[in-house]
Amino acid sequence: MLRQKALVDVLGQVNTSGVDGSWLFNKEGLLLAYVGTEQKEVASNVSSALLASVWTALERRANDLKETILVLEDGVIVCTLVARSMMLAIRASKQTDLGLVRAKLHSLSAYLEQPILSISHDLG
C-alpha cells in the first residue's frame, strides 16, 4: 500500500527554492495528497480538480500528452502523468527558473512511478 505519511514527505521534498505546492491526484481530479501553502481562495482539492479538467481538455485532441506548463500572472504550474493513471503537479512562483521546476517534476514523477504502479496493480 501507499503510506500517506511517506507520500506527503516525498511530495514535500520539492517545496524549496520557489516551489510552494505539490499535488498528487488521479485523472478524475480526486486528490491523494497535497503539500504546500494553502491558497485562501482555492482549496487544494479544488485546484486538483481544475488541473485534471485542463489536462483532460488538452488530452482530448491527442492521447499522447506528456506534460503541461501553465504560466499565469502569479505563478507557474507544471503537470505530468505518473504511472499512466495519476497526475503530479507542482506550483512555483514566477521568479523560479522553469528548468528547475521541470527537473523536480521529472525526478518526483520517476520516484513515484513504481509505488503507484504497484497500487494500480493491487486495485486492478
Partner 1 sequence: MNVQQELEELMLTYEGVCAIFITDHDGGLILNVGLPASLDNSRFRQQLIVSHVTTIPQIHKLSMGGHQTTFAMYESHQIAIHSLAKYYFIVHAGCNTNTGAMLALREKLAPIANYMMSVCPPIDGDGLMPPPSYPSAAAPPPDFD
Residue at grid coordinates 480538480: 49
Question: Closest distance between partner 1 and the C-beta of residue 5, in Å?
Answer: 27
Decide if residue 95 touches partner 1 (CB under 8 A).
Answer: no
Question: 64 to 93, contacts with partner 1 by CB under 8 A?
Answer: 64-75, 77, 91
Decide if residue 42 touches partner 1 (CB under 8 A).
Answer: yes
Decide if residue 103 touches partner 1 (CB under 8 A).
Answer: no
Decide if residue 122 touches partner 1 (CB under 8 A).
Answer: no
For partner 1, give the closer residue by CB, 75 or 115.
75
Decide if residue 53 touches partner 1 (CB under 8 A).
Answer: yes
Contact 94, 74 (CB under 8 A): yes
Please choose, from the candidates 99, 117, 112, the residue with its C-alpha nearest in 3D space to the C-alpha of residue 24.
112
Question: Closest distance between partner 1 and the C-beta of residue 98, in Å?
Answer: 7
For partner 1, give the closer residue by CB, 6 or 46.
46
Please choose, from the candidates 86, 67, 87, the residue with its C-alpha nearest in 3D space to the C-alpha of residue 78.
67
Longest CA–CA separation in the chain, Å: 42
CA distance 91 to 17: 11
